[in-house]
Amino acid sequence: MAPYIGSATSRVDGFAKVTGAAKYAAEFNVSGLVHASLVCSTIAKGRITHVDASAAQRVKGVLTVLTHENRPAMADNDEAYKDEVAPDGSPYRPLYDGKIMFNGQPIALVVAETSEIARFAASLVRVEYEKEPHVTDVHRLRDAASAVKDPGSPIEALFTPPKRRRTPEQALAAATVRHEGEYYVPIEHHNPMELYASTVIVEGNGKLTVYDKTQGVQNVQRYLCGVFGMKPEDVRVMSPFMGGGFGSGLRPQFQVVLAVLAARALQRSVRLVLTRQQMYTLGYRPAMIQRIALGAGVGGTLDAIAHDAITVTSHYEDFHRQETGWSGLLYKCANAKYAHKLARLDLATPCDMRAPSAATGVYALECAMDELAVALELDPLELRLRCYSDRDQHDDRPYSSKALRECYRQGAEAFGWVKRNPKPRSMREGGDLVGWGMATGVWEALQVPITVRIVLSANGHAEVACATSDIGTGTYTIMAQVAADMLGLPLDNISIKLGDSSLPQSPVEGGSWIAASVSNGIATTAEAIRDELLRLSRQTPNSPLANAAPGDVVLVNGKLVSKRDPSRAVSIADAMRHGAVERIEQEKITNPAEDDSRAHNSHSAVFAEVKVDEQLGVIRVTRVVSAVAAGRILNTKTASSQILGGVVWGIGMALHEETLIDHKFGRIMNANIAEYHVPVNADVHDINVIFVDEADDSNPLGVKGVGEIGIVGVAAAIANAVYHATGKRVRDLPITLDKLNR
Ligand code: MOS
């Protein structure tokens, strides 16, 4: 039997998905289900002085209109609203009081017999406010803050960026070649296909089943217990399938609180589905202003890096990631300094969005490196190789593995990089200017504690269970592959259970950490199953494995087999029959190995070709090669899809995506996927994904995870290609026609 691990296995849930059998949070039905619809604030800051719901109440079929004035009891302390990935601060409490903190904030919930009635009645609710002045423009805030040296400034340095190295100021001043630039990434939104939704089923005797769109069912369960003072055994949260999360579902979102609130108020099962527009207040990639200064010697040695960032957060929570940290990590450079400030705006708190901090931080670094290469008159790939670092520059430690050099080599070869004419505007094809650019990508390789239960039946079927989520990444499939190999069973004999808070413990699915965590978790539990089978096998009469130790045997083709002498074997069926057991059940927690002596990262080299219409400035990304080193690839098909999706998103980041706010009203003006531009089929051309071999022993299976690395570096590679094509450097994303032609 060929191993499943590493093969291009099609999704085990693919059939259920394409036939519609896979049900999402808004698709679970129960008799007597009622429907909720939101009323959202139309001001950015202030408080509600009056809510007139009388017209809504009079609509036939309306059951209730809940506001902060008449809602059932909710917790009154911040701690209750903190979830496992909450930032510091005071989490937003839906319908808690009359305070308005962002435009689009939920302020009333209409519940009715049908969703149409609920939505219509919601349009009749009249709200009066007492407005306060708001600021939603990060540039305005920065300009104001630099004008007055006010310690109470809304731009604050709230946490410590990576430690500085040696004397960056002197090194910058002494550098032969310098580049300094300011780069901007606007607010961007996740826009997963599936709308956020919760269906809350009132089971009687105080118990609720909550079908919720989330990346972490147990995180939502704990959160609901905190907010409503419920016991874990009374709230079961389910999320068997998810139509895209990208980080927007890491924290419990307000729709789940509101649906549970309504279900408790009415003692009826309730569904709340957010509209696309309402999803724009759930969280977003924070806008980011970055200044990077690089100093180099003529030979292309990097002597100094200075990286300053301002990122956006709300007034009530301090969301940030280590945006500047990637600059210090990636290249060999003796002198470095960083600063990171948070700009408090009258918006909802941002949240993680695919490769949070790296997608943005590495964009600035990799564009700056390209500009430095131009200043040095050096090939941009050659510059990266001269600054290549085999050690983590922050902590001066080796990597568990780093096959980035090989990514550069294989990526450049597949792309044909040697044929690049370095001169901007030198390559043409018909009326198009052709540009070739490249960039490096980097992400973390993490593993988290996770618990897996396996139940093996005498008929050779196994059920593998863990409360993790499959957010569309292929978790069901890789879990089945790993279990099949570890248990020596065909893939079809494995059933996977996940997305249910009653299953064994798992953290949220995020940070690209679930593949490594759950696959090694399955390996641990499968070993316990094997040990139990061996114990039973030894007891069979004249057992061929009588003297075998656990490490001497493996499970292959439904049998426990001696590694030294494959003729010595006992079938699973025989072992269990002699042991008189119908099933073997094991549940084990797997903790990551403590290994701070080495850095654990995945890497990529991204090469992009753009064609720019010289007359109109229209940019097309005609080719992308992404060469990725991410340890062992569990499934080349689903992993390629992850990188492909990341590259497509990188095209969006470079050329299309931008959340536009009318700062006069503090309101998002393009809160829909018609006016918030994302790459469509016509924008996506040839994408070639390469996985570079990389052996890593950070965990037994050598897995690093691929959910996020695919987007990192892509926007920079495209921006650098646009410069190469046109000779025009656009540093504020997205690179739109007007910026290219101004
Ligand atoms: Mo990811 S942004 O941690 O879902």
Q: What is the pLDDT of residue 651?
A: 98
Q: Which atom of ligand 1 lies nearest, measured to the CA of 511?
A: 3
Give me ligand 1 centre to Cα 355, in Å.
7
Probe residue for ligand 1, chosen from 191, 248, 250, 322 as the CB with the greatest number of ligand atoms within 8 Å: 250
CA distance 212 to 501: 11
Model confidence at 396, pLDDT cuts 50, 70, 90, reads very high
Assess whether 708 carries a catalytic annotation.
yes
Q: What is the pLDDT of residue 148?
A: 56
Q: Check pLDDT > 70 for residue 611.
A: yes
CA distance 708 to 514: 12
Q: Check pLDDT > 90 for residue 160.
A: no
Give me ligand 1 centre to Cα 336, in Å.
28
Helix ranges (DSSP H) in 600-693: 636-655
Give me ligand 1 centre to Cα 73, in Å.
32
* Average pLDDT of the segment spanning 334-343: 94
Structure tokens at 133: 């002045």
Q: Check pLDDT > 90 for residue 729.
A: yes
Probe residue for ligand 1, chosen from 352, 468, 513, 706 as the CB with the greatest number of ligand atoms within 8 Å: 352
CA distance 178 to 176: 7
- If we measure between CA atoms, which residue out of 279, 198, 192, 213 comes closest to residue 36? 198
Give me ligand 1 centre to Cα 11, in Å.
21
Structure tokens at 392: 């983590």
Q: Which atom of ligand 1 lies nearest, measured to the CA of 356?
A: 2
Give me ligand 1 centre to Cα 450, in Å.
17
CA distance 459 to 455: 12
* Average pLDDT of the segment spanning 705-726: 98
Model confidence at 445, pLDDT cuts 50, 70, 90, reads very high
251 within 8 A of 284, measured Cβ to Cβ: no
| DSSP single-letter state for residue 190 | -
Nearby residues of 503 by Cβ (< 8 Å), 6 or more positions away: 453, 465, 466, 467, 497
Q: Which atom of ligand 1 lies nearest, measured to the CA of 707?
A: 1
What proportion of the chain, given as a percentage, has pLDDT over 70?
Answer: 98
Model confidence at 623, pLDDT cuts 50, 70, 90, reads very high
CA distance 30 to 33: 6
Nearby residues of 696 by Cβ (< 8 Å), 6 or more positions away: 400, 401, 445, 631, 632, 702, 703, 704
* Average pLDDT of the segment spanning 524-548: 95
Residue found under tokens 């040296």: 149
Ligand 1 atom 4 nearest Cα:
247
Residue found under tokens 């003796």: 334
Nearby residues of 411 by Cβ (< 8 Å), 6 or more positions away: 417, 438, 605, 606, 607, 625, 626, 627, 690
Each residue of 60-71: pLDDT tens digit?
A: 999 999 999 999
Give me ligand 1 centre to Cα 9, in Å.
24
Q: Check pLDDT > 70 for residue 724.
A: yes
671 within 8 A of 280, measured Cβ to Cβ: yes
Q: Is the dihedral of CA 419, 423, 426, 432 positive or negative?
A: positive
Q: What is the pLDDT of residue 198?
A: 98
How crowded is residue 512: how many other Cβ atoms within 10 Å of its Cβ?
A: 25
320 within 8 A of 310, measured Cβ to Cβ: no
CA distance 443 to 328: 13
* Average pLDDT of the segment spanning 619-648: 98
- If we measure between CA atoms, which residue out of 211, 280, 179, 216 comes closest to residue 83? 216
Give me ligand 1 centre to Cα 43, in Å.
30
What proportion of the chain, given as a percentage, has pLDDT over 90?
Answer: 95
Q: Which atom of ligand 1 lies nearest, measured to the CA of 510?
A: 3
User: pTM here?
Assistant: 0.97
* Average pLDDT of the segment spanning 135-152: 78
Q: Check pLDDT > 90 for residue 360.
A: yes
Model confidence at 147, pLDDT cuts 50, 70, 90, reads low
Probe residue for ligand 1, chosen from 354, 642, 706 as the CB with the greatest number of ligand atoms within 8 Å: 354
Each residue of 251-280: pLDDT tens digit?
A: 999 999 999 999 999 999 999 999 999 999
Nearby residues of 535 by Cβ (< 8 Å), 6 or more positions away: 579
Q: Check pLDDT > 90 for residue 453.
A: yes
Q: Check pLDDT > 90 for residue 742.
A: no
CA distance 331 to 462: 47
Q: What is the pLDDT of residue 561?
A: 97
- DSSP for 211-224? EE--S-HHHHHHHH
User: What's the N-to-C CA distance of the chain in angstroms?
Assistant: 62
CA distance 488 to 534: 14
CA distance 153 to 155: 5
Burial of 538 (0-12, 13-18, 19+ CB in 10 A): middle
Nearby residues of 722 by Cβ (< 8 Å), 6 or more positions away: 435, 437, 610, 612, 619, 654, 728, 730, 735, 740
Strand partners, 40: 106
Probe residue for ligand 1, chosen from 189, 448, 708 as the CB with the greatest number of ligand atoms within 8 Å: 708
Choosing from 366, 509, 657, 708, which is the catalytic residue? 708
Q: With H, G, I as helix, E, B as strand and everything else as coil, classify residue 640.
A: helix
CA distance 731 to 364: 8
Each residue of 680-710: pLDDT tens digit?
A: 999 999 999 999 999 999 999 999 999 999 9
Prior bond of 734 cis (ω within 30°)? yes
Model confidence at 328, pLDDT cuts 50, 70, 90, reads confident
- As a whole number, the mean pLDDT across the chain is 96
CA distance 639 to 473: 8
Q: Cβ < 6 Å from ligand 1: which residues?
A: 215, 245-247, 250, 352-354, 356, 510-511
What does the chain come to in residues? 742
Strands of the sheet with 207-212, listed across from one edge: 62-66, 106-112, 34-40, 270-273, 197-204, 207-212, 235-238
Nearby residues of 169 by Cβ (< 8 Å), 6 or more positions away: 337
Q: What is the pLDDT of residue 2?
A: 78
Q: Check pLDDT > 60 for residue 149.
A: no
Each residue of 642-684: pLDDT tens digit?
A: 999 999 999 999 999 999 999 999 999 999 999 999 999 999 9
Give me ligand 1 centre to Cα 334, in Å.
32
Q: Which atom of ligand 1 lies nearest, measured to the CA of 250?
A: 4
- If we measure between CA atoms, which residue out of 299, 308, 282, 263 comes closest to residue 155? 308
Give me ligand 1 centre to Cα 239, in Å.
16
